[in-house]
Structure 1
Amino acid sequence: MASDRMLAVYFDNPGGPENLYIKEVPKPIPGEGEVLLKVAVSALNRADLLQRQGQYHPPPGASSILGLEASGHVSELGPGCQGHWKIGDSAMALLPGGGQAQYVTVPEELLMSIPEGLTLHQAAAIPEVWLTSFQLLHLLGNVQAGETVLIHAGASSVGIAAIQLTRMAGAIPLVTAGSQNKLQMAEKLGAAAGFNYKEQDFCEATLKFTKGAGVNLILDCIGGSYWEKNVNCLALDGRWILYGLLGGEDVNGPLFSKLFYKRGSLITSRLRNRDKKYKQMLVKAFTEQILPHFSKEGPQRLLPVLDRVYPMAEIQAAHKYMEANRNVGKIVLELPQ
C-alpha cells in the first residue's frame, strides 16, 4: 500500500452489517492546528450503526468514515500546532467521524493524554462515551451531591460511565437494563438499584426506592416509548435529559401538562454536532476534573469496561453483536499496524 493511502471501514450504500467492508482510501492530511493520529484502536458506538443504516449523517465537514473515538500515536503535526504534542506521543481522541481507519486528523485540543496504567484498548473506550456522560451530568444536568439519578441503558457504555461519575459526584445512581447480567454489572460498578424493564415497571420501582419523591435527574437515550414513565417518576423541579431516540420519536399524550405540573425541565443534547469551541471546552474540563481519576487507586477510581475486541477485518461481526444488544460495556476494534 502506498504511503499516502490507508485502510478504512467503508460502506457504499446504507443498509445492514453485510454492507461494510475494508477499503483503501487516501490518508488524510492534517490542516491548521491539527494532528495526524495513527490509530491503534477505535471503538463502536450506536451512532455508527445509525450512520450505516442511513439515519445519522456526519456533521458538515466531518469524515464520512465511521468512528467517533480512537486511541493511538501522534504521527504528524500540521501547520500552526502549539507544541502540546510530539510525534510518537500516545493519545486518545474525540472525533466527529473517521476513527475506524488507520489514520485520522484531530484538532490538537481534542486529543487527550492516556491515563497512566491504561492500555490503548481501554483508552479508545473513553472519549465519546465518558465525555457524553460528563456533559449530561455536569454541564446540562447540574448534578448535586445527595440527588438521585435514573440512568436508562445502565449497562451501555454511556450508562457505565454515568454510574461511576454519578457516584463520584456524591449522587445516587439507579439504572434500567434488560437482563440480570447487565443489572449485576451496573450494581458492581456502583448502582444503588437496578430495574429490569422487561420484567417490572421501572417507574413504580423508582418511586418505591425514592419513597414517592421521584428522581432529580434522568439520563434518557430511549425517548418516545418511555416518556410517560419518565415524567411520572421525575421529582419536583427534576431534570430530564434526552440524548437518544432508541425507543422512537413520537409522543402521544399530555407530556406538557405532566411536565408543567412537576415544574420539570426537558433538556435535549447531541455531542457529535457541537462546534469545535464547545468540544474544546468540554475536553479541557474533562481533562482537568475527571481524567486523573482513571489512574488513582481507591474507591473513586474510574474504569472503562470492555466487552469484546474485534480485528478491523471482522467489522461486520462487531456490528451484528452490538445490534443484537448483547454487549455489556465497550466493543473496540484493533486497526492493522
Structure 2
Amino acid sequence: MGATMRAVDIKGGKGPASALFINEIPHPQPKASDAIVRVKAFGLNRMDLIQREGNYPLPPQAPTTLGVEFSGVIEELGTNPESGFKVGDEVFGLAYGGAYAEYIAISTHMLIHKPKEMSWELCAGIPETWITALQALHLVADLKPGQTILWHAGASSVSIAGIQLSKIAEASAVFATTRSDAKCEFVVKEIGANKAFNSGGDSNWADQVLEETGGKGVDVIIDFVGASYFADNLKALAKDGRMVMLGLMGGLEVPAGTNLGPILFKRLRVEGSTLRSRDENYQKKLRDDLASFALPKFLDGTLKVPIEKVFPWTEIIAAHQLLEGNSTMGKVICRID
C-alpha cells in the first residue's frame, strides 16, 4: 500500500456540498484490534451533512474524514483482531468516521461478514441506519409487544428501518409522519406502517394520532425534529409514554407558550440518545444484535433496505445535494470503482 490514498475532503474544512472534493490524504494505519478495509461502497447520512457544515461535534476517536458506514474487503489486520476475521474477507461495518475514502481503519469489533447474496451497495446502507433504529427501539424506548409507536420522518432511512423492526417487535400499531402525501403512501404500502400522517404545513397530525388511537395516544414516539414538534409530541403520547429524541432538525429552542404539563400529568419520559458518541463496547453489542437478529431477515426478504440512488463517489457533490433536498425515500449510496 502507498503512503497516501484518495478520500473526500472539504475545501476550507467546512462548507456547502459544492466544497466537497477528492483529495490525497495519509493512508490509515491499524491499531491492534483494527482491520484496514478497502472500501467498495459507503452510505450517506444526515450527520454527514451537519459535519460537512462544521456543526457536528466529533467524538475524540473520529477522523475528520466523513462517513460512518461502508462495505469492503479486509486488506490488513492489526496484531490482535477479533477472531473470525482474515485478510480477503468481505465485510461491512460501522465506524466513528473515515468511510468516504479508499481505505478505512476500523475495529474488527464493528465488522460484520458480508453475505454473498447481498450487494456492496446494500450492505453499505445498513450499519448506521439499522443500529440506530435497534438502539432507539429496544435499548432506549424499550418497546413492548402490544404497544403503539410513532416514527417521525417516516421516509428517512432510520425510520424505514424502525417501522419494520417495530412490526417484528409485535407493536400493535406502527404510525409515521412525513411531509408529503407520496412519502405517506410509500411508508404504508412499501414499508408497512399502519397509518402515516402528512405533517407539512398546518397539519394537525397529533389530533389524527389521537383519533386513530381512540383518544389514548401512542406509547412511544421516535423524534428527529425537536423543538417544532415538541408540544404536539406531548399531546400525542399516551400516559406513561416515552419520547426518544434522535435529532433536532426542527430547532433547539421550544416555542414560547409550550405547555409542559403533560410531562407531569401523563407521567411521560423524554430521553435523548446518540450513537456515534457511544463507546465501542456499547456499539459492539448493537453490532452483535444486528448480525444475529436482523441479518437473516435481510437474506429472507423480511426486512427491506430501499436504496434511492447509487452514485459513483466522484459525484459526491450531487449525492449530498440529493440527500439534503429531503426528497429521498431510501438510502443514498456512493460506490468506489
| TM-score range normalised by the length of the shorter chain | over 0.9
Task: Give secondary structure in 2 for the equivalent of 1:42.
Answer: strand
Task: Give secondary structure in 1 for the equivalent of 2:136.
Answer: helix
Tell me by how many angstroms 1:130 deviates: 0.3
Match of 1:290 among 280, 294, 303: 294
| Distance of aligned partners of 1:142 and 1:109 in 2 relative to their CA distance in 1, 3 Å threshold | same
Task: Give secondary structure in 2 for the equivalent of 1:290.
Answer: helix
Correspondence for 1:197: 199
Q: Aligned equivalents of 2:159 and 2:208: distance in 1?
A: 19
1:115-194 paired onto structure 2 within 5 Å: 115=115, 117-171=117-171, 172-187=173-188, 188-194=190-196
Q: Aligned equivalents of 2:139 and 2:330: distance in 1?
A: 24
Correspondence for 1:109: 109
1:267-286 paired onto structure 2 within 5 Å: 267-286=271-290
Matching residue's letter, 1:44: L
Tell me by how many angstroms 1:116 deviates: 5.0
Q: Aligned equivalents of 2:85 and 2:259: distance in 1?
A: 49
Please tell me whether the aligned partners of residues 227 and 253 of structure 2 are also in contact (alpha carbons under 8 angstroms).
Answer: yes
Correspondence for 2:8: 9
Q: Aligned equivalents of 1:333 and 1:82: distance in 2?
A: 28
Larger CA deviation: 257-266 vs 220-229:
257-266
Deviations 1:184-235 (A, max 9, x none): 2101211000111115311011111101010000000000000000000100
| Distance of aligned partners of 1:76 and 1:234 in 2 relative to their CA distance in 1, 3 Å threshold | same
TM-score, with length taken from structure 2 = 0.96
What is the aligned length? 332
Tell me by how many angstroms 1:257 deviates: 2.4
Deviations 1:155-209 (A, max 9, x none): 0000100110011111121010111221121012110001111153110111111
Matching residue's letter, 2:335: E
Tell me by how many angstroms 1:310 deviates: 0.9
Tell me by how many angstroms 1:254 deviates: 4.6
Q: Aligned equivalents of 1:193 and 1:246: distance in 2?
A: 23
Correspondence for 1:90: 90
Please tell me whether the aligned partners of residues 312 and 335 of structure 1 are also in contact (alpha carbons under 8 angstroms).
Answer: yes
Correspondence for 1:322: 323
Match of 1:236 among 217, 234, 239: 239
| Distance of aligned partners of 1:25 and 1:153 in 2 relative to their CA distance in 1, 3 Å threshold | same
Q: Given the alignment of the two structures, is residue 250 of structure 1 paired with residue 246 of structure 2, yes or no? A: no
Correspondence for 2:211: 208
Matching residue's letter, 1:219: I
| Distance of aligned partners of 1:207 and 1:93 in 2 relative to their CA distance in 1, 3 Å threshold | same
Larger CA deviation: 275-284 vs 37-46:
275-284
Tell me by how many angstroms 1:16 deviates: 0.8
Q: Aligned equivalents of 2:268 and 2:113: distance in 1?
A: 38
Correspondence for 1:36: 36
Matching residue's letter, 2:142: N
Please tell me whether the aligned partners of residues 61 and 96 of structure 2 are also in contact (alpha carbons under 8 angstroms).
Answer: no
| Distance of aligned partners of 1:234 and 1:39 in 2 relative to their CA distance in 1, 3 Å threshold | same
Correspondence for 2:314: 313
Task: Give secondary structure in 1 for the equivalent of 2:131.
Answer: helix
Tell me by how many angstroms 1:255 deviates: 4.9
Tell me by how many angstroms 1:14 deviates: 1.6
Tell me by how many angstroms 1:124 deviates: 0.5
Matching residue's letter, 2:294: I
Please tell me whether the aligned partners of residues 116 and 295 of structure 1 are also in contact (alpha carbons under 8 angstroms).
Answer: no
Q: Aligned equivalents of 1:241 and 1:267: distance in 2?
A: 5
Deviations 1:45-69 (A, max 9, x none): 0000000111003210211100010
Q: Given the alignment of the two structures, is residue 45 of structure 1 paired with residue 45 of structure 2, yes or no? A: yes
Q: Aligned equivalents of 2:28 and 2:267: distance in 1?
A: 49
Please tell me whether the aligned partners of residues 153 and 224 of structure 2 are also in contact (alpha carbons under 8 angstroms).
Answer: yes
Task: Give secondary structure in 1 for the equivalent of 2:13.
Answer: coil
Deviations 1:71-98 (A, max 9, x none): 1111111111143111111111111110
Larger CA deviation: 171-180 vs 40-49:
171-180
Please tell me whether the aligned partners of residues 39 and 336 of structure 2 are also in contact (alpha carbons under 8 angstroms).
Answer: yes
Matching residue's letter, 1:304: V
Q: Aligned equivalents of 2:96 and 2:45: distance in 1?
A: 12
Please tell me whether the aligned partners of residues 148 and 216 of structure 1 are also in contact (alpha carbons under 8 angstroms).
Answer: yes
Task: Give secondary structure in 1 for the equivalent of 2:79.
Answer: coil
Matching residue's letter, 2:284: Q
Unaligned runs of 5+ in 1: none
Task: Give secondary structure in 2 for the equivalent of 1:96.
Answer: coil
Q: Aligned equivalents of 1:40 and 1:240: distance in 2?
A: 37
Please tell me whether the aligned partners of residues 115 and 292 of structure 1 are also in contact (alpha carbons under 8 angstroms).
Answer: no
Please tell me whether the aligned partners of residues 209 and 218 of structure 2 are also in contact (alpha carbons under 8 angstroms).
Answer: yes
Correspondence for 2:63: 63
Larger CA deviation: 279-288 vs 92-101:
279-288
